[in-house]
Chains A and B, each alone.
Chain A
Amino acid sequence: MYSSPVHAVDKPGTNTFQLINDQSAGEFSPNSMIDSAHVAGTCMDSIKSLRASLRAFCKTKGDNVELVMWKSDIEAVYRNLWLSKEWQAKQTVTVGDKRYVDHCNCFGNRSSYKVFLSLSSLVAWIAGHIKQIPHLKAYVDNNASFGLAGDVLYY
């Protein structure tokens, strides 16, 4: 079993700390066991993509149409994804004199985004093609889009 160092750093713009699970530390780190080529080629929907959708929407609805934009976060993002028990053995965390096995996808892992994207990209596809939510953009744990002003349902 492996135990990677864990520490905290200041979280920019807040008075809180950010947990760092350094899976790149050491000669036999978990990240050193992951080939970068296997986790390459991922993607995100940038602000440029959102702007392109806004332009396309306004072309059909008119430039003076009033819009409302929305954005949502996915709580705990990568932590929603679980890992095989074989990999869990490679990411124990030491706190004091005790060790804990981390069961979930870790922020400090090289393949975390790739694992998360395998699920989130399919959810984005379902949202667009099955649920017919147009112009949905996904940027890691942030989803954003827009609609006509007044077309809002509070819950």
Chain B
Amino acid sequence: MNPVATPFFFYGLSAIAVLSAIAVIMRRNPVHSAIALIFTLLSLAGLYLMLYAPFVAGVQIILYVGGIVVLFLFVIMLINIDRMQREYQFNKQWLVGLLAAAVLGALFVAVYVKGQSIFPHNAVRFPEYRVLRLWRSRPYII
């Protein structure tokens, strides 16, 4: 049983993940950032499901969305967000930070473009389903 519409789901989930990650770092209200972080984590759980890692996807949803983001929301509730929404959102060395991140991105692009031979090019394999037949029982698919 091959999965259907794999590129559609991959590009959709990746777009949701990256766009809501950008929303995490661009929003003024930290509550909006936490909500966007939830969307990033859920779409990453979908990508884990596409990579045949259902346990990691479940742990991602339970631990991250159910634990860490709730912790963030509690802390946002405890601190005073009215004052920090009024002041300037970026720090004094933001230009240097942006430049350093751009250099890091250029490094990634250079590695991925020039060093493509070191990366595996085969498509993601489908797991082979093995049928486990216990003694006198129905066959289980594992």
Task: State yes or no: do A and B come from one complex.
Answer: no
Mark B residues whose CB is within 8 Å of A.
none
Mark A residues whose CB is within 8 Å of B.
none
